[in-house]
Amino acid sequence: MRAIVQRVSEARVTIAGRMTGEIGAGLMILVCAMQGDTEAEADQMAQKIAKLRIFKDEAEKMNRSLLDTGGAALVVSQFTLAADTSRGNRPGFSTAAPPAEGERLYNHFSNRLRALGVEVANGEFGADMDVSLINQGPVTIWLEV
């Protein structure tokens, strides 16, 4: 499973002008299930992200997690994180999980974050979405489990 995590002061997703998810301070999470991923990888990614210490403490050091700050997460499916550009200029996505499996793992990941105590908003799997955010820091981290 792959993810791009961005520390944000706010983020939202709209589909055809309809807002489907919105958060204040927290994390914007773009997530992609890869071929062979299972619930174990989704669980591990959720644990990692919930405990990732990328929020500032009183001394202005990145030492606090999403769980520590009580921030929210906006989770958006992003199969293009599986892009392979090693053989030319057109990306291939054959390493991404098949759509049905990707959607199942995307939902499992979101539910696991909720079970950990994180407020979660979502995009819509497979939809053409407009994502807007204010990246705070900026802090952007690429993760793979």
Pairing status of strand 119-122 against strand 62-64: unpaired
pLDDT score at 51:
98
The total of structural domains in the chain comes to 1
Query: In the structure, what pLDDT confidence band is assigned to residue 79 with cuts at 50, 70 and 90?
Result: very high
pLDDT score at 58:
96
Question: Which residues are identified as catalytic?
Answer: 78-80
pLDDT score at 136:
96
Segments forming the whole domain that contains residue 105: 2-144
- 116-129 pLDDT, tens digit per residue, is 999 999 999 999 99
Q: Let me know: does 136 contact 8? Beta carbons within 8 Å.
A: yes
* Averaged confidence pLDDT in the chain: 97
Q: Let me know: does 109 contact 46? Beta carbons within 8 Å.
A: yes
Query: In the structure, what pLDDT confidence band is assigned to residue 97 with cuts at 50, 70 and 90?
Result: very high
Q: What is the CATH number of the domain that holds 138?
A: 3.50.80.10
Which residue bears the tokens 């050091």? 61
